[in-house]
Amino acid sequence: MTSLDLAKCMRSVDLERGVVPISKAASSLAALIKRSQANHQPIVVTQKGYPTGVIIDIEVFTAIRQFIEEHTREAEGAPEGA
């Protein structure tokens, strides 16, 4: 997944299907994970009406980590691959 794809995935949350209360998340976690994987979109979990967590598929999570690591190295002035 490229950083452009990553940016596209992370800027859009489906407000109809992408925000669920924690009670629903607890009872349908497997289905929510599958939905996140299929759509490469985050699902926001709420508690008492407030966002408290996010479900993302592992490919997006890995891309986020790589993006952060690359930009951290650049900010520190370290050569890539170091």
pLDDT the model gives residue 64? 87
Residue 81 lies in a domain: no
| Segments forming the whole domain that contains residue 69 | 3-76
User: Which residues, 6 or more positions from 51, have their beta carbon under 8 angstroms from its beta carbon?
Assistant: 19, 44, 45
For the chain, residues with pLDDT lower than 70 are: 1-16, 78-82
pLDDT the model gives residue 21? 92
Domain count, the chain: 1
Residue 82 lies in a domain: no
Q: At 10, which CATH number?
A: 3.40.1620.10
CA distances from 53 to 42, 73, 81 (A): 10, 28, 32
Q: Which of 50, 41, 52, 39 is nearest to 11 (CA)?
A: 41
Residue 50 lies in a domain: yes
